[in-house]
Structure 1
Amino acid sequence: MGWGIDGTRHWGADWCVITALVLRPPLRPGALWQDEEWPEAEKAEKLARGAALKWASGVFYRPEKLEGLGHYRRRETQRNSSIQSRLKSTVQSYLEGVSAGLEQLRSAAQEVQSVCQELGTARWALLDSAEHLQGLQQMRELMEEHVQLASVVQVLPQIFSVHEVFSHTLQLLHGQHLLEAHVELMMVEQLRDDILSQLHLRGLSSAQTAVLSYFSGLQELNESLAKQLWDIVGSSLRLVREDPVLFVTAVRIIEREEKIDDALLLEATFLPPGRPKGWRQKFYQVLQDSMTGARFRAPCPDAEGPGLARHLAALQKDIVSELRVVKDLMVQCVPAHYNILSVCTATFHQALTSHLQEILREDLDKQGLFLLLEWALRVYHSPEMMGHPDLLPEVDVSGLGPLMSPELVDQTERRYVVKVKVSDVFEWMQRTLEVEFKEWFREEEPETDHQGFFQSALPAIVMQMLNENIQVASLITDSLQQKIYNMALEELEAFLGRSVSPSHLCPSSQTLGPQPGILGWCWRSAVGHPVLIHRRAQTQLLCSPQPLCLQLPSRKWLSGSQLVGSMCEVIDKYAKDFSRVRKPVCTLLLAESELLVASQYLRALLQRKMVCKSREERGQLCHRLLQDATQLRELFCGLGLERSQQSLEAVFALRELICLKDPALLSLEVVGFITKYPDASDEHISTLLDIRGDVSKEVRHVVLEMMAQHPQVLPEGYRPIFSTILVPVPELPFCLRKGKCA
């Protein structure tokens, strides 16, 4: 770089040349630069000249600057000399390093050659001593055999004393000196296992059979010791109360055996016969069997209730007592990692779960089912059992799951509801209803209250019985209460159909259960049941107007007879009996009566169809229908039934179809009619068209086709009226083969 007139440094041409020289590849020995083809040198020279010209033009762009040319030349000459000196120093250092490296490589090559010569000499020496090595191998084998024999000599006294140890150990076991007996037993087992291990390592499997035969007494000792241990563990609840020494001894022996099992499994080289013994798992199994064996394997108790109650009470007492012993005494006799209290708690819980399932397979009565549900869902978790103050907080069954699964609870609750329904509600209601029938069919009138309305004790009796069952179910679960409640409503609805005086029962049903809206339910369930009308008034109302309706339609009726007036007198006479019934049942009975009268009127008109022979006669028919429907409507309005609750509107709508002057418009009128009365069928409409007497086949076809294109669905809450009326099937035309229909 060079210095500019502004004091900054610039890349000079000399530095470009130096860069090109450094980047130039090294010369071959004896070659000159001129002799080498080096395109980069020419390019670098051009770049250097260009940079130098640019720098010079920037420095000497004015003539007065040429006075400093000598100064710039001296300075650049000195700088070039300094650069060349540094380059020479760098190259010299590089060459010296290369020379040192070559010298080291030369020395290493000489050392490698010397090592190869020495290795060859050693190889020949080893080949010469191969015969001496074979002799050393024989000496090694003799030494190993000597070591084995020395080991055998050392253990011979122990081997010879094995049977004596067996006898002594057996005496210790008979005297219940279990710890001493187990020490000698472990010693003999260790001796046997060491011998078997050595034979296993040397592949002498045939000799292992003889060793096992010699130590065969170990099996008997192990079985005898194990039998005593499991007898002690089976009596552990009694022993920890009386004298826990034997139980603690048994636990110590089991822990020793577990440590031996763990050590052998960890080595995983040789596993002696009978290992692992797994005595800790056997300890848990024996303990669990002793706690659950007798009481849970006994035959199922009496399914009638008292026997089951005693059985459950005994289970409750025994389980609490034994868990208290485990918590207060047994926990102190075993290591903490045994978690003995949790194990015993889970054991009782699982055993109870299976035991209850076994009991539920029997045909239990309602009392037995109730006892099981109450015991499993309420008593089990209460302070009387698993929540006992003496067991808390160590005993916790919350993480063990329910004693009865939700599915089993639901199934048992349904069985209980069926038993209650069959054995209590249905039979009891049936007997009560029979007594009520006798009371209502006596010669004298039923009892009345202070307001003159008929009354009966039946509603209070039925409600009390149903409420008692619901209250009993509420002691178990809300779901059982809801099931009993739903069953009570179903039975009450069926009872309404059988009752002769449901008008007294319905107002009382609002006391049934905790839910609102029962009264409304009762009215809805009562709709459509003719037996809801008082038996005396209903029978007379059905029979008395029938002779009058037989005269419909007729020429006498058409000419203005007092036929409907007589019907109104009969209806008014017998409807007065409804005044002895409280509202809103009275309104319901009036509505049923009005529907009955309207149905009889329409049935007589449609089944005994009268064909109008002229327009005048058709007008006369329309006038008569208007007078009759208006008279009947005013009658029921006077009795207290609103027009919106009456079915006589169907007579007015039918009259409109007959009064229509232009038959071509019948299709539109019929569509409106079936929209309002969707239970009207094609037969009903055909009968109405026949009554008109002026409908052609083409118009009839259009009307029926229009009805087919507009099918109707009965809306919810619709009171059918035409579906209860059957009309005669029209006669088919008589046809001969290949002829026209007559």
Structure 2
Amino acid sequence: MGLSAEDERAASPGDEEWPEAEKAEKLARGAALKWASGVFYRPEKLERLGQYRSREMQRNSSIQSRLKSTVQSYLEGVSAGLEQLRSAAQEVQSMCQDLGAARWALLDTADHFHGLQQMRALMAEHVQLASVVQVLPQLFSVQEVFSHTLQLLHGQQLLEAHAELMMMEHLRDDILSQLHLHGLSNAQATVLSYFSGLQELNETLAKQLWDIVGSSLRLVHEDPVLFVTAVRVIEREEKIDDTLLLEATFLPPGRPKGWRQKFYHVLQETITGAHFQAPRMDSEGPGLARHLAALQKGIVSELRVVKDLMVQCVPAHYNILSVCTATFHQALSSHLQDILREDLDKQALFLLLEWALRVYHSPEMMGHPDLLPEVDVSALGPLMPPELTDQTERKYVVKVKASVLEWMQRTLEVEFKEWFREEEPETDHQGFFQSALPVIVMQMLKENIQVASLITESLQQKVYNMALEELEAFLGRLREALVQCGKEHQNDRSIPKYYMSYLLATLNNNLALSSSVSSLHPNTACREVPSSLRAAFDRTQKKACQLLLEELLLDLQPLCLQLHSRKWLSGSQLISSMCEVIDKYAKDFSRVRRPIFMLLLMETELVVASQYLRALMQKKVVCKSEEERSQLCARLLLDATQLRELFCGLGLDQSQQSLEAVFALQELICLKDPALLSLEVLGFITKYPDVSDEHISTLLDIRGDVSKEVRHMVLDMMAQHPQVMPESYRPIFSTILVPMPELPFCLRKGKCA
């Protein structure tokens, strides 16, 4: 019996070499068993076993054929590669033999090279000696050439002198280059000592060149040939510098000279020194205007010379006009900054701002028709940097502010001196009191804003903001002066004689100032008035109105003290007298413009109503009977009606009057059934939400017939219905203080009876 397949695999020596093959075979057999178990799990499937066997044998045969073909192709490729490697090894061996032969041949000829090296050294020495023999005549004539060149320089024959100078420098530099090439650095000092006169010649030539460049603006008029000659010398030196720098093998002493840059530097120093070394006195006061005018004239004149004459005397790549323009621009910028470091006055700061921001770019200077279009300073940036411009504008605003403050203070002093004159204030064509204060103040502010608008919009806005701030501060000082004048008037009501008239004039002035503020700025989009300034106008108006109403109260006080007394109840002419006083003041108030007149009328009516209610709350009259209550109600109704008709006749509508509270109180007192007081009081507090428990309690006391139970019921009802004052409501009861009840007299400590 033969070995099983497993035994054959175990005995096969290839298993050790190909463990992956064993693993693959196991996987294949496992997959086959899995497939067979899936196909032949039923007995009837076994009938097709022969078909499956035949198909699988064909598949295996096909796979074996492809494998044999692949292996055969692989073996043929390996054979071709081995043949190529064998051929390459033969070629390498042949090349190694050739290289060995060449090496032996070179070793045989090495001795001949030593002889050639000696010949090369002799040839180099011969060349050097030949060079020395050629330059010996030039070397012997060096001192003579130096003297001749110096004479040429003294005669201002610059081109001839420079040609000899270049020849001597070329001779020296050639010798130094040879020494440097052969490493003979020790001999260079001797050569430099022999040619030491070149340094003096260079310095003499340079001094003449820079003197010519320094006078270039004059020479292009008088002797342009001399200036052109200097420029040609400079250009020669620039070409020599460029050549030596390109070779970069040996740089002779003193190179590069950089005379073109020195040309620019001297020209810039000449421009700067000629115009911008002004004495300090020219930086302040009226001298600054003359100094700036001289700068303007001189710069335009010299730029014309550069544009028309100097440009033709120098190469185009010098860009001489642009260089001079930039030099003037930068020097001017630095010069203005130096001037601004001084403590300048308002006029000087304005001149500098106007000159730098407007005149400089105008057709009067850099935009002059004779300079356009070649001169263009737009690419050079602003003459004054933005931060310096802003700083200067702020300094100017500070100076203007000090001037405005002083002027306003003087105006205010003059205004209040006029209060103590023996004359009424002046009136306008409509008969309204006024003074010159609004015109003076607004004209001063408007002029400063208009002057600032000539410079920049930013300066105009800064001055405008400052003007509004100063106007607000001025209104504060005006209120302080009103208060001080009011105190003096209280001490002696005859001083000033026309106190009320000037208060009325102040109200008209305040209204005129308030109306004119929006016209200060010429640009309608920038006329925003700060809320603080509007509040300042309101406070000034309120203060003047308050002083006027205090005058009214002083005249009404003796009459108000007699109100709601037994004498008043029995019948008197108090209200008629009060109406006469009110009518007199209303006629005075008519000397102010309509909006303020109506305000004064409303405030007067509120004051009268408050005083009337305050007198009522004093409880001078407490009804002891129904007859007295009727009498009191009739008196209240009569007084309120008379006062209401007075104010209606003066132009105050009934709906705007606070006296309606008197009518409402009268109805509360006249109510016959005390049990209905809760309902009546509820309606009253709804209409007058600032009324307090003390006010209602006092009214109940005045009635004289309200029991404790009804009182408690009314007060409880008020507690249960707290009121909130609307924004449009004008308080009246909150200004009236109810007197505290007097405590009963007690003989000893303990509960009072």
Decide: shared fold, TM above 0.5: yes
Deviation by residue 1:321-376 (Cα, 9 ceiling, x = unmatched): 00000100011111111111111111111111222222222222222122222212
Q: Paired residue for 2:509?
A: 505
Contact 1:626–1:655 (8 Å) recurs in 2: yes
Q: Which 10-residue stretch deviates more, 379-388 or 122-131?
A: 122-131
Deviation by residue 1:188-237 (Cα, 9 ceiling, x = unmatched): 22222233333333333333333333333222222221111111111110
Q: TM (normalized to structure 1)?
A: 0.68
**Aligned equivalents of 1:264, 1:366: Cα separation in 2:** 59
**Aligned equivalents of 2:644, 2:593: Cα separation in 1:** 23
1:619 offset after TM fit, Å? 14
- Residue 527 in 1 paired to residue 538 in 2? yes
Letter in 2 for 1:474: S
- Residue 477 in 1 paired to residue 456 in 2? yes
- Residue 574 in 1 paired to residue 585 in 2? yes
Relative to 1, partners in 2 of residues 1:563 and 1:406: Cα closer, same or farther, differing over 3 Å?
farther
Relative to 1, partners in 2 of residues 1:348 and 1:427: Cα closer, same or farther, differing over 3 Å?
same
Relative to 1, partners in 2 of residues 1:150 and 1:426: Cα closer, same or farther, differing over 3 Å?
same
- Residue 374 in 1 paired to residue 354 in 2? yes
Q: Paired residue for 2:270?
A: 290
- Which of 328, 332, 342 is equivalent to 1:348? 328
**Aligned equivalents of 1:653, 1:218: Cα separation in 2:** 120
Deviation by residue 1:44-83 (Cα, 9 ceiling, x = unmatched): 8999xxxxxxxxxxxxxxxxxxxxxxxxxxxxxxxxxxxx
**Aligned equivalents of 1:146, 1:122: Cα separation in 2:** 36
1:334-345 to 2 correspondences below 5 Å: 334-345=314-325
Q: Paired residue for 1:583?
A: 594
- Residue 398 in 1 paired to residue 378 in 2? yes
**Aligned equivalents of 1:391, 1:179: Cα separation in 2:** 33
1:252 offset after TM fit, Å? 1.3
Letter in 1 for 2:62: K
**Aligned equivalents of 1:541, 1:718: Cα separation in 2:** 24
Q: Which 10-residue stretch deviates more, 344-353 or 298-307?
A: 298-307
1:114-133 to 2 correspondences below 5 Å: 116-133=96-113
**Aligned equivalents of 1:467, 1:541: Cα separation in 2:** 38
**Aligned equivalents of 2:247, 2:729: Cα separation in 1:** 86
Q: Paired residue for 1:248?
A: 228
**Aligned equivalents of 2:112, 2:599: Cα separation in 1:** 128
**Aligned equivalents of 1:115, 1:408: Cα separation in 2:** 84
**Aligned equivalents of 2:342, 2:106: Cα separation in 1:** 92
1:479 offset after TM fit, Å? 3.3
Contact 2:426–2:434 (8 Å) recurs in 1: yes
**Aligned equivalents of 2:226, 2:654: Cα separation in 1:** 95
Contact 2:438–2:512 (8 Å) recurs in 1: yes
1:250-649 to 2 correspondences below 5 Å: 250-302=230-282, 305-423=285-403, 425-493=404-472, 494=474, 497=479, 500=502, 501-506=505-510, 508-509=512-513, 510=515, 512-513=519-520, 514=522, 525-529=536-540, 533=544, 537=548, 540-546=551-557, 569-591=580-602, 593=604, 636=647, 638-641=649-652
Q: Paired residue for 2:206?
A: 226
Deviation by residue 1:131-178 (Cα, 9 ceiling, x = unmatched): 333343333333333333333333333333333322222222211111
Letter in 2 for 1:387: G
Q: Paired residue for 2:53?
A: none
Q: Paired residue for 1:181?
A: 161
1:586 offset after TM fit, Å? 2.2
Relative to 1, partners in 2 of residues 1:118 and 1:386: Cα closer, same or farther, differing over 3 Å?
closer
Which gives a bigger RCO, structure 1 or 2 (Cα 8 Å, sep 6+)? Answer: 2
1:120 offset after TM fit, Å? 2.9
1:284 offset after TM fit, Å? 1.1
Deviation by residue 1:470-528 (Cα, 9 ceiling, x = unmatched): 33333333333344444444444525645842344356444543366899999764322
- Which of 176, 180, 188 is equivalent to 1:208? 188
Q: Counterpart of 2:539 in 1: which secondary structure? A: coil
Relative to 1, partners in 2 of residues 1:586 and 1:480: Cα closer, same or farther, differing over 3 Å?
farther
**Aligned equivalents of 2:230, 2:666: Cα separation in 1:** 103
Q: Paired residue for 1:43?
A: 62
**Aligned equivalents of 1:646, 1:190: Cα separation in 2:** 113
Contact 2:640–2:662 (8 Å) recurs in 1: yes
Alignment size in residue pairs = 630
- Which of 128, 143, 153 is equivalent to 1:163? 143
1:257 offset after TM fit, Å? 1.7
**Aligned equivalents of 1:223, 1:604: Cα separation in 2:** 109
Deviation by residue 1:232-287 (Cα, 9 ceiling, x = unmatched): 11111001111111111111122122222222222233322222222222111111
Q: TM (normalized to structure 2)?
A: 0.67
Relative to 1, partners in 2 of residues 1:544 and 1:313: Cα closer, same or farther, differing over 3 Å?
same
Relative to 1, partners in 2 of residues 1:527 and 1:300: Cα closer, same or farther, differing over 3 Å?
same
Provide structure 2 residue ranges, at least 5 long, that are not aligned to the other structure: 1-57, 67-75, 483-501, 702-707, 742-753
Contact 2:213–2:266 (8 Å) recurs in 1: yes
Letter in 1 for 2:272: T
**Aligned equivalents of 2:731, 2:321: Cα separation in 1:** 70
1:718 offset after TM fit, Å? 11
Relative to 1, partners in 2 of residues 1:113 and 1:376: Cα closer, same or farther, differing over 3 Å?
closer
Relative to 1, partners in 2 of residues 1:519 and 1:396: Cα closer, same or farther, differing over 3 Å?
closer
Relative to 1, partners in 2 of residues 1:633 and 1:137: Cα closer, same or farther, differing over 3 Å?
farther
Q: Which 10-residue stretch deviates more, 687-696 or 582-591?
A: 687-696
Relative to 1, partners in 2 of residues 1:305 and 1:592: Cα closer, same or farther, differing over 3 Å?
farther
Q: Paired residue for 1:139?
A: 119
